[in-house]
Amino acid sequence: MTNNQIDLLFRKAENRLSDTWKSVYENKQTELISMFNEYGDRAYSVWIQDFMAHVVEPFQQEGYQIKAGFNRHNSIENWGPPEERERCAWYLIHDHVGTPIGTLVLQIYHSHRSFFVPRAPQLLFLQVTEKIDILSALSQATTRVRWDRKEVRNLSQEPHQITQWEYATDVSLADCLGKSESEHSSWSLDEALSHWGRYSWELITVAQADGKMIAYFKRPIHSP
């Protein structure tokens, strides 16, 4: 399979995901909520199984072997608060003779408090196929968190009744601190912090990472 073929089939799978995840979510919501109340997260497994059968079809139609469904052992969940927990499930892709050629990864975001999907699931493609390599790739935030992938929120049940926050980081504040005391300018640091403050950003803390000073800010999200 060439890179162009992979990209084409991946885009088709993305379109299938976009077309099916929410329709299954909405059409079976009563059933899935009832299942969640009785069995917990198993309800999400049923939801995934229903739409993934359609998502993998572009690969299957071209003769590639890829199982749909959901296998908890082929997934990992390490990130996010209980209201928006991220789980990544992977699906090995084999060619016509059974040789593994890549891995399709499904990212889902789900609540442990109730049956709720706060944002749309996404797909990733990894060239690695061994479990240890898949886990290693997914442990890197740059694999899962992509600036070029638009986040689509599910606003149908967004919890507006609680205070919500957004966060940002700045690695440039150290520029306001000279290497010696004579070069230190409190005015420039005050100005840099005030620039953030004008837009309601509050400094939470600063930390060192790889020799750089990182400043962390937060501000409340105002409902439209």
Domain ranges of the chain: 3-157, 165-220
77 has a pLDDT exceeding 80: yes
Lowest-confidence range among 53-57, 106-110, 207-211? 207-211
pTM for the structure as a whole: 0.78
91 has a pLDDT exceeding 80: yes
State the Cα–Cα distance between residues 60 and 56, nearest whole angstrom: 7
Confidence of residue 195 (pLDDT cuts 50, 70, 90): confident
81 has a pLDDT exceeding 70: yes
141 has a pLDDT exceeding 90: no
CA distances, 74 to each of 48, 53, 95, 138 (Å): 13, 16, 19, 12
pLDDT of residue 189: 82
Beta bridge mates, 123 = 106
Q: Is 204 helix (H, G, I), strand (E, B) or coil?
A: strand
Q: What is the mean pLDDT of residues 183-204?
A: 83
Q: What is the mean pLDDT of residues 33-38?
A: 96
Q: What is the mean pLDDT of residues 90-119?
A: 95
Confidence of residue 3 (pLDDT cuts 50, 70, 90): confident
- The answer to whether 93 and 78 are in contact (CB under 8 A) is no
182 has a pLDDT exceeding 60: no
What share of the chain has pLDDT > 70, as a percent? Answer: 92
Q: Which residue has the higher pLDDT, 39 or 79?
A: 39
